[in-house]
């Protein structure tokens, strides 16, 4: 379908905490991974870890704790989180159905750009029936540098064939917002576990839910939005 006049041509979505209510799983996994090696991982630290790539996670852990095998701890936390996710169907965040239906109906190319592992992304999309609503999937292992570097969003834009400046990026975490900004995309924050700081607000828009984002990002296409919100049978 040809893209509707006046709409951004690409929409790139983070996964955990943005599409699915899964950030709490990572919080619990980080705390448990720390307990196993006698390290006090706080909730505040898990929030700083949220959304980062593996190398970036290891750097934060190394900076926080001395004499720790940071890479092994990252792998352990990810394994714990993966085991939990693969045994469940994730809860979708408010507005997911509406925004994906809106994008598909109006020819907006879509991608996921997630620091998570590919098999977890595939699992979450499959069990929620969302696979067909994405034109590309990019994960942390597809790029040399994870969030907050721009690599993952640049690659996502390339794979959907849209210039970064014509892409809206939806994120819930600071590293992703910084990455989207660095990539030259339009960053939109939908807060999950953390609220935007003044510094983050300087480089992004923020809305309570994806439903609110539809109305504001595409505010000049209100008649199309109303159709998407009313037509939940799009999914």
- Tell how many helices (H) and how many strands (E) occur in the chain: 11, 6
Whether residue 3 is predicted with pLDDT greater than 60 in this model: the reply is no
Phi-psi region of 129 (alpha: psi -120 to 50; beta: other; left: phi over 0): left
Q: With CA atoms as reference, report the closest residue to 15 among 85, 102, 80.
A: 85
Contact 173/17 with Cβ under 8 angstroms? yes
pLDDT at position 84 is 92
Active site residue 14: yes
Handedness of CA 172, 174, 175, 180 (dihedral sign): positive
Instruction: Please write the tens of the pLDDT for every residue from 62-98.
Output: 999 988 999 999 999 989 988 998 999 999 999 999 9
pLDDT at position 87 is 92
98: number of Cβ within 10 Å: 22
CA–CA gap between residue 70 and residue 195 (Å, rounded) = 27
Q: With CA atoms as reference, report the closest residue to 153 among 177, 189, 119.
A: 177
At 103, is the secondary structure helix, strand, or coil?
Answer: helix
Q: What is the pTM of this model?
A: 0.84
pLDDT at position 234 is 46
pLDDT at position 1 is 39
Contact 126/156 with Cβ under 8 angstroms? no
pLDDT at position 223 is 52
Give the Cα-Cα-Cα angle 191, 192, 197 (nearest 5 degrees).
45
22-49-113-184 Cα dihedral, nearest 10 degrees: 140
Token pair of 188 as six digits: 């939109």
pLDDT at position 131 is 97
Active site residue 233: no
Instruction: Please write the tens of the pLDDT for every residue from 109-155.
Output: 999 999 999 999 999 999 999 999 999 999 999 999 999 999 999 99
Q: Choose the catalytic residue: 16, 135, 172, 192.
A: 16
Q: Choose the catalytic residue: 14, 151, 172, 192.
A: 14
Burial class of residue 54 (count of CB atoms within 10 Å of its CB; 0-12, 13-18, 19+) = middle
pLDDT at position 6 is 55
């Amino acid at each position: 379908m040809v893209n509707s006049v006046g709409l951004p041509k690409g929409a790139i979505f983070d996964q955990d905490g943005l599409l699915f209510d899964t950030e709490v799983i990572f919080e619990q996994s980080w705390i448990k991974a720390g307990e196993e090696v006698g390290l006090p991982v706080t909730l505040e630290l898990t929030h700083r870890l949220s959304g980062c790539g593996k190398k970036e996670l290891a750097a934060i852990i190394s900076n926080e704790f001395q004499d720790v095998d940071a890479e092994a701890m990252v792998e352990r936390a990810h394994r714990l989180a993966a085991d939990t996710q693969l045994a469940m169907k994730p809860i979708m965040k408010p507005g997911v159905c509406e925004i994906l239906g809106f994008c598909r109906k109006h020819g907006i190319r879509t991608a996921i750009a997630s620091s998570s592992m590919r098999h977890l992304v595939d699992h979450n999309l499959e069990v929620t029936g969302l696979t067909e609503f994405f034109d590309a999937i990019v994960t942390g292992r597809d790029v040399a540098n994870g969030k907050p570097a721009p690599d993952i969003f640049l690659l996502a834009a390339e794979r959907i064939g849209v210039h970064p400046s014509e892409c809206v990026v939806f994120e819930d975490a600071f590293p992703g917002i910084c990455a989207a900004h660095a990539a030259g995309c339009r960053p939109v924050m939908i807060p999950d576990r953390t609220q935007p700081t003044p510094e983050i607000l300087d480089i992004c828009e923020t809305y309570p839910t994806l439903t609110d984002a539809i109305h504001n990002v595409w505010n000049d296409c209100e008649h199309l939005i109303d159709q998407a919100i009313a037509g939940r049978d799009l999914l």
